[in-house]
Amino acid sequence: MITSISGTQIEYYFFCKRQLWLFSHQLNREQESDIVMMGKVIHEESYEREKKEIRIGENLVLDFADVQAKVIHEVKKSNKMEKAHEWQLKYYLYCLREFGVDDFRGELNYPKLRKTVSVELTEADIQKLEEVIMDIGRINAGSAPEAVKKKPCLKCAYYEYCFC
């Protein structure tokens, strides 16, 4: 079932396959990360009037939704991983569609940057997401992918798993 994969796993798939594998195998260091904590504070303090964290099943957590406008929102600290954020939001739209709710669109909100990015789900995106879901299963069933050092790695909560 699609909800056995979380939005975080989709995000990590597009950013770092090793991070995806570590997270999927419950090697979760994020609660210890100052950067992640800062992101949570920004999320909590932004859009205070909105109902936060709408849960769908066990693994899907939407940041908030405007049901009247038919928009789901994902709040992020930085746009450095914008492509991964877009795919995470497309995955949420895909899941809603699988549940029979197919008239929503998404918005990525970067409150620190005062930036909003509109996200739509296309037929091509649906096909790509179905391939990604299969690939995530393959990655998680295997051994940890090799670490590939990139500039963002220095601030990653998983840095010690990869390079120490």
**DSSP secondary structure code for residue 144 in this structure:** P
Question: How many whole angstroms separate alpha carbon 105 and alpha carbon 97?
Answer: 11
Q: Which domains does the chain have, with CATH numbers?
A: 2-163 (3.90.320.10)
What pLDDT was estimated at residue 133?
Answer: 96
**CA-wise closest residue to 128 among 8, 3, 13, 4:** 13
What's the pLDDT tens digit per position in 52-92? 678 887 888 898 899 899 999 999 988 989 999 999 999 99
Instruction: Name the residue type at position 36.
Output: V
What's the pLDDT tens digit per position in 107-150? 999 998 999 999 999 999 999 999 999 999 999 999 999 998 98
pLDDT category, 93, cuts 50, 70, 90?
Answer: very high
What's the pLDDT tens digit per position in 6-45? 999 999 999 999 999 999 998 865 555 454 455 455 445 5
What are the φ and ψ backbone dihedral angles of 119, each rounded to 5 degrees?
Answer: -130, 130
3-state SS, residue 114: coil
pTM of the prediction? Answer: 0.84
Burial of 71 (C-beta count, 10 Å sphere; 0-12/13-18/19+)? middle
Cβ atoms 72, 93 nearer than 8 A = yes
Task: Note the residue count of the chain.
Answer: 164
